[in-house]
């Protein structure tokens, strides 16, 4: 379950990164969100995914 959530967040982070790149090349914002904001969203989602993956791995080890 947590692994799926972490993978979903990683996918959303990748979409955010691609949106930031597209925003830079277009020279404007996408839906009112600038490239820097997309980049920050991407970083935050990736950090949350890493935290969930580490927490899930630790929880699974303690369960065994």
For 16-55, the pLDDT digits (tens) are 788 878 888 887 777 787 778 877 888 888 888 888 888 7
Which domain does 46 fall in, by range?
Answer: 2-63
Question: 62: pLDDT confidence band, cut at 50, 70 and 90?
Answer: low
pLDDT number for residue 64: 54
pLDDT number for residue 11: 84
DSSP 19-36: HHHHHHHHTS-BTTB-HH
Number of domains the chain contains: 1
């Amino acid at each position: 379950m947590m692994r799926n959530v972490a993978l979903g967040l990683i996918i959303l982070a990748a979409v955010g990164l691609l949106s930031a790149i597209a925003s830079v090349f277009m020279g404007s914002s996408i839906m009112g969100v600038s490239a820097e904001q997309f980049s920050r969203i991407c970083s935050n989602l990736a950090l949350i995914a890493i935290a969930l993956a580490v927490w899930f791995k630790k929880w699974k080890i303690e369960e065994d």
